Amino acid sequence: MSHDDVDGRPAGTHAPGSPDDQRLLDRLRAMWLVRDRPPDDLVDAVVARMAASDLDRQWELLSLVHATDRLAGVRGLDGPRTLTFSGDLVTVVVRVSSEAEDRRRVDGWVVPPAPLVVRAFRAAAELASTTATADGRFELADLPAGTTTLRLGPTDDHADAATRPHLVSPPFEL
């Protein structure tokens, strides 16, 4: 038996995913469980670290939403707020201001500048959409006050229109 043989047969003579492959993988798994067993709490520890990796940003957003209601009488609802959301491909800066008692306006800038489609959602319902200019500027006017999420993605006429959104913001208060 040469080193290329797996179970007495030359390498490449059976299809990947065959019962022979499964038996080999089962034997390898059993060997590693004896020789180098992972810690019993490995899965829980990984899940906890992944959940905690974004806690600072989530806490900041929760504090911002909480402060909006608590400080409404102190500074009024008319003062604009500036928020920044960053993703792997883009960063978006938005300025939220009041248009009326229960209506808001969002002015935004995409960095790096790109003509992306910007959609505002509440739950699964789309509130409004627009396309950022080539300079990355966009505006969404006359939005109802409340918790909102922004989704930025390619325009339909871009080659990468089938790709995932460039950025999905966490929920924030308008």
Report which residue type is found at 148.
T
- CATH 2.30.130 for the 77-173 domain, yes or no: no
- How far is CA 139 from its chain centroid? 22
- Lowest average pLDDT, out of 25-39, 70-84, 111-125, goes to 70-84
Report whether 41 contacts 153 (CB < 8 A). Answer: no
Residues 114, 160: Cα–Cα separation, whole Å? 13
Residues 122, 127: Cα–Cα separation, whole Å? 7
Collapsed DSSP state (helix, strand, coil) of residue 117: strand
Report whether 139 contacts 106 (CB < 8 A). Answer: yes
- Lowest average pLDDT, out of 98-107, 124-133, 157-166, goes to 157-166
For the chain, percent of residues with pLDDT exceeding 70: 68
Looking at per-residue pLDDT, the higher value among 9 and 96 belongs to: 96
Q: Report the chain's mean pLDDT, rounded to a whole number.
A: 79
